Chain A
Amino acid sequence: MAEADRYEDVVRTRGEEKFAEFEDTDKGLLGRFHELLHSTPAIVPLIVLLAACVVFGLILGSKFFSPFALTLILQQVQIVGVLAAAQALIILTAGIDLSVGAVAVLCSVIMGQFTFRYGVPAVLAVPIGLAFGTAIGAVNGWLVSKVKLPPFIVTLGMWQIVLAVNYLYSANETIRAQDIEAQAPFLQFLGTKFNLGGAVFTLGVVLMLVVVLVLAYVLRSTAWGRHVYAVGDDPEAAQLAGVDRHRTIMSVYMVVGFICGLAGWVMIGRFGSVSPSATTGVIGNIQAITAVVIGGISLFGGRGSILGAFFGALIVGVFELGLRMAGADPQWTYLLIGVLIIAAVTVDQWIRKVTA
């Protein structure tokens, strides 16, 4: 090679090269706060949750900070909490699931009808319901991953299909709480109450906590969890890096279907009865998405944590109960939740900006 061609050599000799130094520069207080949020996005909803508790505590005093009120919040959010955990998983893969609430209702109907129409023992009817949920999830996952349809479209269709099947199959018949209690108490198992220092918990609340904690562990500390994030972040890159994209997406949708089945079981425990026209079928999806968004999970996928979604569900619960106790018009709840959604996404955009 001719000497004249070595035009780039000058950069070699000129001074010291700072090519890959990963040194932290002092970015000031805001910068450090930004970095903290970037690494642990669940902090924002946690701060909002604590702030909401403090505000309501100041307004309502001991009425709000009673074990009764605080556990009531947990009981009221248990269904949405489980659905939000499922929704969070889907949204981490940059998808969205509009069918979660409908699947939960159908699963509860299946558990009830299998017991009362076909005489299947309740201990078997519950796993059958969970299997149906998983199967619906598998269909969603297959359509998204193999047929490459947008998740929004797939689950929009599935939502309508599942709701219709739910009404057709059950003939819009409610199974009464007394009948379940008398003949198949296992269906209401998650409604079992127990007392812990004046606070009343149900097994449904415990199940919600277990689902959230297990998912948090799995997403953080297993290869599968890392793959979920990678696929949501950049599917092409994940695949080239050696992640089986199809398997990851399929497994996510199936796990979500299973969790929706669990939510159906929680519903029977909470309401006592099995009702095909439960509102969860119609608004469960929006409630779950709201919790996830307030919880700081990015709708673009790959960012956020399941704990955030759980905090998001709790925030909604705290607002609902706190405002009701304060005697405010329920419309204020919706208004404030609307503000929170927009604020949460604004914060998410700010966090995504790497250079603060």
Chain B
Amino acid sequence: MTQPVLEARGLVKRYGKVTALDHCEFDLMPGEILAVIGDNGAGKSTLIKALSGAIQPNAGEILLEGRPVSFASPNDARAEGIETVYQTLAMSPALSIADNMFMGRELRMEGIMGSLFRKLDRKRMEDFSRQKLSELGLMTIQNINQPVETLSGGQRQGVAVARAAAFGSRVVILDEPTAALGVKESRRVLDLIQEVRARGIPIILISHNMPHVFEVADRVHIHRLGKRLCVIDPKGHTMSDAVAYMTGAAVPEGVAEPA
């Protein structure tokens, strides 16, 4: 059996008396798109936050390529090559596309201008951003110094995905990437997701949109009551099955054994 890129064993997270994660298991295989679905309050956001370092679990461990890791902050996860596109996109509207792409990991000039005067290497950052955006087929970027707030919702999502894909060397996590978008724009983002996967980077996709999940996912992790209920193959199941499982209306066969 191949080694999972990212796995979680017995994760527990409590908020006061509420147990958001109850000995949760998780596996992400190399090169796959794994969708995580679950009803509201099932704990999928908590699971994702634990994997991306935004929260710290009370118990259990996270393994990256078989090696135990612990993330005290999103920066730790990022340093390991795990990039997250948050639902809020985490972009500064007044700053430019290039500024946002490199927020928190700016490039400095070579030599004394960089080491003593801490001067940013704008040209290098702009070129890199432009290249990454066009690699992902975001067409011609006229002005990489345009503030992000002047972009449409889909364009912003595109920049956020490009940022994650550019720096996420191991895993890219997408939290509800199509929730705020129109039909056309979500279509484009789904194509983007497959573009990223084609470069060999595995993706965790959190979504409520069943057609989108069933279209792009290789496997579907169904989250229920703070733990993994089962992992299904979208080709062997219907959307109704998935909804029935995640709401508890039906119990998948052989649920005792993790898929």
Interface residues of A (CB under 8 A from B): 1-2, 5, 7-8, 11-12, 17, 19-24, 38-39, 217-218, 221-224, 226-227, 229-230, 233-234, 236-244, 302-303, 354
Contact = CB atoms under 8 A, between A and B. Distances in A.
A23 B146 CA distance: 11
6 contacts: A20-B158, A221-B119, A226-B99, A230-B103, A241-B92, A354-B147
Interface residues of B, number: 54
B103 A17 contact: no
Contacts of B139: 19-22
Contact of B154 (A19, A233, A243, A354): A19
B179 interface: no
B104 to A, nearest CB: 3
Nearest to A234: B92
Given A19-B154, A23-B142, A241 B91 contact: yes
Given A19-B184, A238-B92, A302-B92, A24 B142 contact: yes
A241 B88 contact: no
Interface in B51-69: 54
B214 A38 contact: no
B93 A233 contact: yes
B187 A242 contact: no
A354 B149 contact: yes
B168 to A, nearest CB: 13
Given A8-B183, A12-B187, A242-B74, 12 more contacts: A11-B184, A17-B184, A20-B141, A222-B117, A229-B92, A229-B94, A230-B92, A233-B92, A237-B90, A241-B90, A302-B94, A354-B147
A1 B211 CA distance: 9
B89 interface: yes
Contact of A233 (B75, B94, B158): B94
Nearest to B238: A2
A80 B183 CA distance: 54
Interface in B182-236: 183-188, 211, 214-215, 234
Contacts of A241: 90-92, 100, 103-104
B94 A303 contact: yes
B54 A240 contact: yes
A40 to B, nearest CB: 12
A143 B158 CA distance: 38
Nearest to B187: A11
Contacts, number: 130
Contacts of A223: 106, 108, 118, 120
A1 B214 contact: yes
From A38, A233, A240, residue with most partner B Cβ within 10 Å? A240
Contact of A237 (B54, B89, B133, B185): B89
A-B pairs, top 6 by smallest CB distance, nearest first, are A242-B104, A240-B90, A223-B106, A241-B103, A20-B138, A230-B92
Contact of B143 (A17, A19, A24, A217): A24
B150 interface: yes
Nearest to B191: A12
B67 to A, nearest CB: 22
Contacts of B44: none
B169 interface: no
A245 to B, nearest CB: 11
B155 A230 contact: no
Contact of A354 (B91, B150, B239): B150
B105 interface: yes
Contacts of B147: 38-39, 354
Contacts of B142: 21-24
Contacts of B211: 1, 5, 7-8
Nearest to B154: A19
Contacts of B122: 221
Contacts of A242: 74-75, 78, 103-105
A12 B183 CA distance: 10
B2 interface: no
Interface in B71-111: 74-75, 78, 84, 86, 88-95, 99-100, 103-106, 108
A64 B141 CA distance: 49
B140 interface: yes
B93 A221 contact: no
A20 B154 contact: yes
B219 to A, nearest CB: 15
A236 B75 CA distance: 14
A229 B95 contact: yes
B220 to A, nearest CB: 12
A5 B88 contact: no
A348 to B, nearest CB: 12
A226 B146 contact: no
